[in-house]
């Protein structure tokens, strides 16, 4: 069996010998699933603690909604939302912290505040974003998105969505490597729901092994998204947790290394059952 991948989160080395769970912590008033619930400091800290207790291996803190149609927030407002939370969580939880942002200024401030991973839905396309990552020592998740959150679902088109997404992610990873960023600091995310139709999302999910074959850890985030709702006949966000957990297990089965989820405890339980009972275990999962 090959050696497990290691993700270097600014010195916190996270083994990817099994699928890891990234718990979502939105400190925003307008995120699509839980907007406003954790916008206050104490609520955010308590939720992060609860997710770690439930099995989260990373906590992803976001201060700007990236739901379809979302309006951007100012740099000052995003910093106001996320930096105090990251600073507090550094002393409260033992797992690596991630910052969900596309702004280089927020990346730098967040790493200074304790973030070990930069999760950029814009795929490091903003001026200065790649330089901020290179100077940070943090891991980075490069996500594919076509357009912006405000416009991304306005008739997205691809000739071959899997090939185009793979080429973008591989190209951005290669650019980082060329500037001295170690492979152990790089994660790839195909960006389900970000400038993709339902059919695009399904094609990407079914061909996740092609993305895994690029040789970097792959993060999958489909938790409570519209693709889950559509598969289940138009279910609202509040009725998508079970479908999201099943999708997370299928992603792990296809080789995904990190699962970004809202429902941490349920996902952890499902992965434990899968590790014990699934007759097909992927090469990087040694828990069975």
The set of catalytic residues is 225, 260
Contacts of 128 (CB under 8 A, 6+ apart): 104
**Helix, strand, coil percentages, rounded to 5, for the chain:** 40, 15, 45
Q: H helices within the chain, ranges in order?
A: 41-54, 75-90, 104-113, 129-136, 161-178, 198-206, 208-212, 226-231, 241-253, 264-277
Distance (Å, rounded) from C-alpha 241 to C-alpha 227? 12
Cα dihedral across residues 35, 147, 184, 201: positive or negative: positive
∠ CA 133-139-144 to the nearest 5 degrees?
A: 75
């Amino acid at each position: 069996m090959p050696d497990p991948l290691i993700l270097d989160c600014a010195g916190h080395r996270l083994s990817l010998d099994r699928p890891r769970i990234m718990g979502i912590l939105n400190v925003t008033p307008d995120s699509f699933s839980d907007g406003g619930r954790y916008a206050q400091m104490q609520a955010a800290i308590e939720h992060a603690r609860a997710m770690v207790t439930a099995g989260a291996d990373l906590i992803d803190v976001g201060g700007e909604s990236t739901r379809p149609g979302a309006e951007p927030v100012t740099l000052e407002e995003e910093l106001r939302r996320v930096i105090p939370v990251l600073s507090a969580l550094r002393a409260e939880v033992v797992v690596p912290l991630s910052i969900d942002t596309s702004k280089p200024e927020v990346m730098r401030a967040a790493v200074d505040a304790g973030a070990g991973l930069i999760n950029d839905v814009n795929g490091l396309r903003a001026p200065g974003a790649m330089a901020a990552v290179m100077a940070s020592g943090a891991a980075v998740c490069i996500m594919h998105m076509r357009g912006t959150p405000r416009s991304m679902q306005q008739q997205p088109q691809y000739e071959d969505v899997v090939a185009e997404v793979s080429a973008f992610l591989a190209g951005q990873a290669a650019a980082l490597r060329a500037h001295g960023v170690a492979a152990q600091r790089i994660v790839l995310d195909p960006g389900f729901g970000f400038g993709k139709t339902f059919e695009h999302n399904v094609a990407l999910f079914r061909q996740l092994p092609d993305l895994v074959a690029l040789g970097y850890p792959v993060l999958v985030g489909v938790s409570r998204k519209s693709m889950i709702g559509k598969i289940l006949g138009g279910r609202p966000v509040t009725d998508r947790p079970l479908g999201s957990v099943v999708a997370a297990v299928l992603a792990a089965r296809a080789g995904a290394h990190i699962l970004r989820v809202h429902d941490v405890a349920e996902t952890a339980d499902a992965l434990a059952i899968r590790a014990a009972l699934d007759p097909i275990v992927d090469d990087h999962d040694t828990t069975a």
